[in-house]
Structures are given as C-alpha cells and as structure tokens.
Amino acid sequence: MKKDGKKQNKTRRDTRIVGAGLDPEANSGIINPPVYHASTVLFPTVNELKQAVGDPFNSIYYGRFGTPTSAAFEEAVAEIEGGEKAIATSSGLAAIACALTAFLKSGDHLLVADTVYQPTRKFCDGILKGFGVETEYYDPLIGGGIAALIRDNTRAVFMESPGSLTFEVQDVPAIAAAAKERGVVSMLDNTWGTPLFFRPFEHGVDIAIEAATKYISGHADVMLGVIIMNEAHFKRIKTVTVALGNSAGPDDCYLGLRGLRTLAVRLARHQETALTLARWLAERPQVARVLHPALPDDPGHELWKRDFTGSCGLFGVELQPVAEEKVTAMLDGFELFGMGFSWGGFESLILPMEPKYSRSATTWEGKGPLLRIHAGLEDPDDLLADLEAGLKRLA
C-alpha cells in the first residue's frame, strides 16, 4: 500500500475508505497506526521547542492538541467526508458545542432547526443563552425562506437533516446558499447521512459534524465526535476546541478509524434491513405512518432522492392511537430489539419518543405513540418476527 494522495483521489469511495489515513511506511510497515497515549512531548533543543510552540496546529506539541493516532483518524474522516480538515472531539455533542462556540459571542444571533438533536437544543438554551447568544429555532422545512430570518447579528445557521425523532428532510443547499449570501457560516449535523450518504461540502455547507459514536465507530462502545471543515475555518475551530480543553482519546480514535474501514459494508446492511422493516410496518393496521425519507410517500422523499445517495438504519413509526400500557407491553416484550439511546451500533433498538418536548417553532401533529427504530445487523427475518409478535401485544 503506497501513500500517494493523488493516486487515492482517483479511486472510488470504497477504495478510499480502505486506504484513508494509513501510513505504514512511517511505522515499520505495520498497516494500522499505533495508539499513542501521550500528554508529554519532548523537544530536544530550544530551537525545536520554539518551532512547535510557534506552530501548534502542525506539530505534535502537547497531548491535548492531538497525537499521530487522532491525526490518522482526522485525516481519514476529512477525506471520506470530502472536507480538507477534521478535528476529533470527545463526543458528538462536544463537536457541536465546539463548532458553535467558535463562531458565537455575546450579542450574536443563531438560527437552529427546530428538529435538532435534543442535547444540541439544551446547549443553545442553557450555555449559549447564559453567554448572551440568542438562539432562534426555525421550521426545518423553511428552505430558502431562511433568508428572511437572517439578521445583521446572525452568525451561524445550524441544520440537521433528517431531523432527530421526526426525520424531516431539510433543503440543505437552499439554506446553505442563503447563509453564504449573507456571510453567515452554515453547519450541519450529518450523523444520519453519514460521510457516505450525504456530501455536505458539495451541498454548500461550511462545517459538517458527525457523532462518530454512531455509525463511524459502529459497535456501541465508543464516544467520539468529529468536525469537518475547509482550511479557512480550521484554525478558528481548533483554537476553540483546544481552549475548551476538548480532545479525543487515542483508543477511541483508533476504534473510530477501525470502524470507518467497514462503514460501507455495515451501512449497506443497515439500510437494506431498515427498508425491509419500514415497508413491512407501513402495511400493518396498527401503524399510522412510517417516518423514513427513503419511502416514496414520505413528505421528505423528493429532497432525499435529490440530495442523498442512501439511507441508514434509523427511522420512526407512528402507531395508531392505543393505550399506553399496550405500548409498554409491546416494548417490554421484545426479544431482539433493545431499549437504548445511542444508535449506529450492530444491534437493533426501539424506543418510545416524545418530540413535543423538544419543539418550539413547529408542533408535532402525530396522534398515536411514536417509536424510533434502529435496524441492526441481525437477520431481518428474525427482526420481522420480533416486530410481528410485538404488534400482537398491542391488541
């Protein structure tokens, strides 16, 4: 395996996933990067010490700034996501918080999609508000209409598509373009789209964020986030990330990089199984609606088809109105679907959801209980049998 950036760029995506971030020649020919546990970095001369201090972005300088292990992970994610640089953080939420903090100060205005991941909302309504930043939530379906909400003090527009819990697809290119026209930075939480199925930079986004905890790591064991951006924004965000004391541990970066190698094959299976389950559920009398943008009658389908090249394992199901204890019986009795929050691992999950508690610019119109399903890597027929038995418990 030769490390040759130009050669890599000509290859197709799945080939690049295999080679990204590798440098065996720098490591005795060993294919994977070593896990460097490091706080102290020694400098043999005053001259080298001065050089490192003068250019902390490009030198191994102090553990908090990164190690060759985090650098390998960052290089690989930047390449696969299509950005120039990446910064690994201790979690997906840390990536969101660091990216927002880098662009906002007291007196600024921030636009955030009403359907963002709830802890993102909590960060805006708690920490940012306390620091004098005003967050305005907007209808995720606003599209180019966002232009009317941009004020002279608006500094950032934050998107997440599809939205958490309710899966609304945003017109990301239109929103990013409106922001750009006013010189406002645009950010996208791309965790559902993954670096494979949505290409943020080709759609005009300035800063992409992945909760690598989810599919990039993919095995339900790692907390890891990553911010991806072009050179223009890198130093600003890295300065803030380091100033906030945030960094990603070397073992987690190593596992993130290992997960990345199999992202394409895992996602193909998550996607196929989720579609199988979603189509089957859509036909069941106990189901009012399936919320999955890859299904042709989903309200977000046209935008999804235009902008995405695939879908992951996460989708929603609205049941017909039914007594709460029946839903509890359904959920308590599953044999394969576990109840847990962090999706993107190998296992199937199901959770009851209450979007009304995390919306302010829009209202959730669903009448029946809403469930969020993550299709794991189990045999899809076993998952269908588990779901079928679960729906019987609603009777």
Ligand X SMILES: *Cc1c(COP(=O)(O)O)cnc(C)c1O
298 catalytically annotated: no
Torsion sign over Cα 86, 91, 96, 101: negative
Which residue in the set 92, 193, 293, 345 belongs to the binding site for ligand X (CB under 6 A)?
A: 92
Tokens of 306: 């235009």
Compute the least distance from the CB of residue 249 to ligand X, in Å: 13
Q: Could you say which of 155, 199, 214, 372 is catalytic?
A: 214
Q: Which stretch binds ligand X (CB under 6 A): 85-93, 101-109, 254-262, 287-295?
A: 85-93
Compute the least distance from the CB of residue 374 to ligand X, in Å: 10
How many residues bind to ligand X according to rule CB under 6 A?
A: 14
Which residue in the set 225, 250, 293, 355 belongs to the binding site for ligand X (CB under 6 A)?
A: 225
What is the C-alpha separation between 172 and 91, in angstroms, rounded?
24
3-state secondary structure of 317: strand
Is residue 91 close enough to count as binding ligand X by CB under 6 A? yes
Report in angstroms the alpha-carbon separations of 26 from 30, 31, 32, 79, 221: 9, 10, 11, 19, 29
Q: Which stretch binds ligand X (CB under 6 A): 132-140, 176-184, 208-216, 263-271?
A: 208-216
What is the C-alpha separation between 321 and 327, in angstroms, rounded?
10
The interaxial angle of helices 231-243 and 92-103, nearest 10 deg, is 110
214 catalytically annotated: yes
What is the C-alpha separation between 18 and 16, in angstroms, rounded?
5
Is residue 117 close enough to count as binding ligand X by CB under 6 A? yes
6 catalytically annotated: no
The interaxial angle of helices 380-392 and 324-332, nearest 10 deg, is 150
For ligand X, which is the closer residue by CB, 93 or 174? Answer: 93
Compute the least distance from the CB of residue 116 to ligand X, in Å: 8
Each residue 159-198 as x (binds ligand X by CB under 6 A) or -, in order, gives: -x---x------------------------x-x-------
Which residue in the set 104, 110, 211, 242 belongs to the binding site for ligand X (CB under 6 A)?
A: 211
Radius of gyration of the chain (CA): 22
Site for ligand X in 306-365 (CB under 6 A): 342
Is residue 154 close enough to count as binding ligand X by CB under 6 A? no
For ligand X, which is the closer residue by CB, 344 or 390? Answer: 344
117 catalytically annotated: yes
Q: Which stretch binds ligand X (CB under 6 A): 8-16, 91-99, 143-151, 324-332?
A: 91-99
Number of H helices, E strands in the chain: 15, 11
Count the Cβ atoms, other than its own, within 10 Å of residue 32. Answer: 15
With CA atoms as reference, report the closest residue to 317 among 390, 248, 255. Answer: 390
Q: Could you say which of 16, 64, 236, 326 is catalytic?
A: 64
What is the C-alpha separation between 267 and 275, in angstroms, rounded?
12
- Positions annotated as catalytic residues are 64, 117, 189, 214
Which parts of this chain interact with ligand X (CB under 6 A)? 91-93, 117, 160, 164, 189, 191, 211, 213-214, 223, 225, 342
